[in-house]
Amino acid sequence: MQGSPANEAPHRMIRECRFGADVVVHPFTNLYGCAVGAGSRIGTFVEIQTGAVIGRRCKIQSHTFICDGVTIGDGVFIGHGVMFVNDKLPRATNSDGELASSNDWTLLPIDVEDGATIGSAAVILGGVTIGAGALVGAGAVVTRDVEAEATVVGVPARASTGRQLS
Protein backbone atom coordinates (compact mmCIF):
# COMPACT_ATOMS: atom_id res chain seq x y z
CA MET A 1 0.00 0.00 0.00
CA GLN A 2 1.16 3.54 -0.77
CA GLY A 3 0.00 7.10 -0.33
CA SER A 4 -0.90 7.95 -3.91
CA PRO A 5 -2.85 6.45 -6.80
CA ALA A 6 -0.97 5.29 -9.90
CA ASN A 7 -2.32 8.05 -12.11
CA GLU A 8 -2.15 11.82 -12.06
CA ALA A 9 -5.30 13.92 -12.39
CA PRO A 10 -6.24 17.51 -11.57
CA HIS A 11 -8.98 18.52 -9.16
CA ARG A 12 -8.45 15.79 -6.61
CA MET A 13 -8.43 15.95 -2.82
CA ILE A 14 -6.62 12.94 -1.35
CA ARG A 15 -5.58 12.96 2.31
CA GLU A 16 -4.19 10.13 4.41
CA CYS A 17 -5.38 7.32 2.14
CA ARG A 18 -3.65 4.05 1.34
CA PHE A 19 -3.61 2.65 -2.19
CA GLY A 20 -2.57 -0.69 -3.65
CA ALA A 21 -0.73 -0.88 -6.98
CA ASP A 22 -2.31 0.46 -10.15
CA VAL A 23 -5.21 2.28 -8.56
CA VAL A 24 -6.77 4.93 -10.80
CA VAL A 25 -8.53 7.91 -9.22
CA HIS A 26 -10.35 10.27 -11.56
CA PRO A 27 -10.60 14.07 -11.22
CA PHE A 28 -13.12 15.84 -8.97
CA THR A 29 -12.81 13.33 -6.14
CA ASN A 30 -12.58 13.72 -2.37
CA LEU A 31 -10.91 10.81 -0.59
CA TYR A 32 -9.74 10.90 3.02
CA GLY A 33 -8.61 8.23 5.42
CA CYS A 34 -9.74 5.33 3.25
CA ALA A 35 -7.96 2.28 1.79
CA VAL A 36 -8.31 1.21 -1.86
CA GLY A 37 -6.98 -2.15 -3.07
CA ALA A 38 -4.78 -2.87 -6.08
CA GLY A 39 -6.25 -2.29 -9.52
CA SER A 40 -9.41 -0.53 -8.41
CA ARG A 41 -10.81 2.53 -10.16
CA ILE A 42 -12.56 5.49 -8.57
CA GLY A 43 -14.80 7.67 -10.77
CA THR A 44 -15.41 11.42 -10.85
CA PHE A 45 -17.45 13.22 -8.19
CA VAL A 46 -16.86 10.40 -5.70
CA GLU A 47 -16.36 10.95 -1.98
CA ILE A 48 -14.93 8.23 0.25
CA GLN A 49 -14.69 8.80 3.99
CA THR A 50 -12.30 7.82 6.71
CA GLY A 51 -12.75 4.22 7.72
CA ALA A 52 -14.05 2.94 4.38
CA VAL A 53 -12.14 -0.01 2.94
CA ILE A 54 -12.34 -0.98 -0.74
CA GLY A 55 -10.90 -4.21 -2.08
CA ARG A 56 -8.98 -5.08 -5.23
CA ARG A 57 -10.19 -4.72 -8.82
CA CYS A 58 -13.31 -2.80 -7.85
CA LYS A 59 -15.05 -0.20 -9.96
CA ILE A 60 -16.54 2.70 -8.05
CA GLN A 61 -18.47 4.78 -10.55
CA SER A 62 -19.14 8.51 -10.66
CA HIS A 63 -21.25 10.47 -8.16
CA THR A 64 -21.07 7.77 -5.47
CA PHE A 65 -20.67 8.38 -1.74
CA ILE A 66 -19.01 5.78 0.50
CA CYS A 67 -19.10 6.46 4.21
CA ASP A 68 -17.21 5.35 7.27
CA GLY A 69 -18.03 1.77 8.21
CA VAL A 70 -18.35 0.46 4.65
CA THR A 71 -16.14 -2.52 3.77
CA ILE A 72 -16.11 -3.59 0.13
CA GLY A 73 -14.57 -6.89 -1.00
CA ASP A 74 -12.69 -7.72 -4.20
CA GLY A 75 -14.13 -7.39 -7.70
CA VAL A 76 -17.13 -5.35 -6.61
CA PHE A 77 -18.97 -3.05 -9.02
CA ILE A 78 -20.58 0.04 -7.49
CA GLY A 79 -22.66 1.96 -10.04
CA HIS A 80 -23.14 5.70 -10.46
CA GLY A 81 -24.79 7.79 -7.79
CA VAL A 82 -24.88 5.05 -5.13
CA MET A 83 -25.34 6.34 -1.57
CA PHE A 84 -24.28 4.42 1.53
CA VAL A 85 -25.82 5.34 4.90
CA ASN A 86 -24.30 4.48 8.28
CA ASP A 87 -26.80 5.96 10.72
CA LYS A 88 -30.32 4.84 11.52
CA LEU A 89 -31.66 8.24 12.52
CA PRO A 90 -29.29 11.07 11.62
CA ARG A 91 -29.93 14.45 13.19
CA ALA A 92 -28.20 17.77 12.65
CA THR A 93 -28.08 18.55 16.36
CA ASN A 94 -27.90 16.62 19.61
CA SER A 95 -30.27 16.84 22.55
CA ASP A 96 -28.46 19.96 23.75
CA GLY A 97 -29.18 21.69 20.44
CA GLU A 98 -25.52 21.67 19.47
CA LEU A 99 -24.27 20.44 16.13
CA ALA A 100 -24.12 16.64 16.36
CA SER A 101 -20.66 15.06 16.55
CA SER A 102 -19.39 11.51 16.22
CA ASN A 103 -20.22 10.98 19.89
CA ASP A 104 -23.93 11.42 19.23
CA TRP A 105 -24.65 8.39 17.09
CA THR A 106 -23.87 4.72 16.58
CA LEU A 107 -22.13 3.71 13.39
CA LEU A 108 -23.91 0.91 11.51
CA PRO A 109 -21.36 -0.93 9.38
CA ILE A 110 -22.03 -2.25 5.88
CA ASP A 111 -20.29 -5.16 4.20
CA VAL A 112 -20.32 -5.68 0.43
CA GLU A 113 -18.79 -9.07 -0.30
CA ASP A 114 -16.62 -10.19 -3.22
CA GLY A 115 -18.01 -9.94 -6.72
CA ALA A 116 -21.23 -8.14 -5.84
CA THR A 117 -22.75 -5.55 -8.16
CA ILE A 118 -24.72 -2.54 -6.95
CA GLY A 119 -26.76 -0.75 -9.61
CA SER A 120 -26.70 2.99 -10.18
CA ALA A 121 -28.62 5.23 -7.76
CA ALA A 122 -29.12 2.43 -5.24
CA VAL A 123 -29.18 3.38 -1.56
CA ILE A 124 -27.66 1.02 1.00
CA LEU A 125 -28.87 1.47 4.57
CA GLY A 126 -26.58 0.97 7.54
CA GLY A 127 -26.16 -2.43 9.14
CA VAL A 128 -26.67 -4.63 6.09
CA THR A 129 -24.47 -7.22 4.42
CA ILE A 130 -24.63 -7.69 0.65
CA GLY A 131 -23.47 -11.21 -0.07
CA ALA A 132 -20.86 -12.39 -2.56
CA GLY A 133 -21.97 -12.14 -6.16
CA ALA A 134 -25.27 -10.51 -5.25
CA LEU A 135 -26.93 -8.01 -7.58
CA VAL A 136 -28.70 -4.91 -6.33
CA GLY A 137 -30.96 -3.30 -8.91
CA ALA A 138 -30.65 0.28 -10.09
CA GLY A 139 -32.53 2.65 -7.80
CA ALA A 140 -33.14 -0.01 -5.14
CA VAL A 141 -33.21 0.93 -1.46
CA VAL A 142 -31.57 -1.91 0.48
CA THR A 143 -32.85 -2.15 4.06
CA ARG A 144 -31.99 -5.79 4.89
CA ASP A 145 -29.22 -8.26 4.22
CA VAL A 146 -28.95 -9.59 0.67
CA GLU A 147 -27.95 -13.24 0.31
CA ALA A 148 -24.99 -14.32 -1.78
CA GLU A 149 -25.84 -14.54 -5.50
CA ALA A 150 -29.31 -13.09 -4.88
CA THR A 151 -30.87 -10.31 -6.95
CA VAL A 152 -32.93 -7.59 -5.26
CA VAL A 153 -34.81 -4.66 -6.76
CA GLY A 154 -37.27 -1.95 -5.75
CA VAL A 155 -38.04 0.34 -2.80
CA PRO A 156 -37.59 -1.26 -0.36
CA ALA A 157 -35.50 -3.89 -2.14
CA ARG A 158 -37.10 -7.33 -2.54
CA ALA A 159 -35.83 -10.55 -4.06
CA SER A 160 -36.25 -10.82 -7.82
CA THR A 161 -36.10 -13.91 -9.98
CA GLY A 162 -34.34 -12.00 -12.75
CA ARG A 163 -30.62 -11.58 -13.13
CA GLN A 164 -30.35 -8.01 -14.22
CA LEU A 165 -30.53 -4.47 -12.91
CA SER A 166 -34.32 -4.16 -12.95
| Active-site residue list | 80
Does residue 17 interact with its own copies by CB under 8 A?
Answer: no
Tell me the C-alpha distance between 32 and 44, whole Å. 15
Work out which of 3, 7, 21, 90 binds its own copies, going by CB under 8 A.
90
Q: Quick check: 51 binds its own copies (CB under 8 A)?
A: no
Q: Is residue 36 part of the contact set for its own copies (CB under 8 A)?
A: no
One-letter identity of residue 111: D
Of the residues 25, 130, 134, 165, which one makes contact with its own copies according to CB under 8 A: 165
Q: Which H, E and C letters describe 48-114, residue by residue?
A: ECCCCEECCCCEECCCCEECCCEEECCCCEECCCCEECCCCCCCCECCCCCECCHHHCCCCCEEECC
Cβ neighbours, 10 Å, residue 131? 17
119 is an interface residue for its own copies by CB under 8 A = yes
Q: Does 37 bind its own copies (CB under 8 A)?
A: no
Residue 161 touching its own copies (CB under 8 A): no
41 binds its own copies (CB under 8 A): yes
Q: Which of 50, 47, 45 is nearest to 27 (CA)?
A: 45
Q: What are phi and psi of 65, to 5 degrees?
A: -120, 125
Question: By CB under 8 A, is residue 18 in contact with its own copies?
Answer: no
Which residues of the shown chain bind its own copies in the complex (CB under 8 A)? 10-11, 13, 26-28, 30, 39, 41, 43-45, 47, 57-59, 61-63, 65, 75-77, 79-81, 83, 85, 87-93, 97-100, 115, 117, 119-121, 123, 125, 135, 137-139, 141, 143, 153-156, 163-166
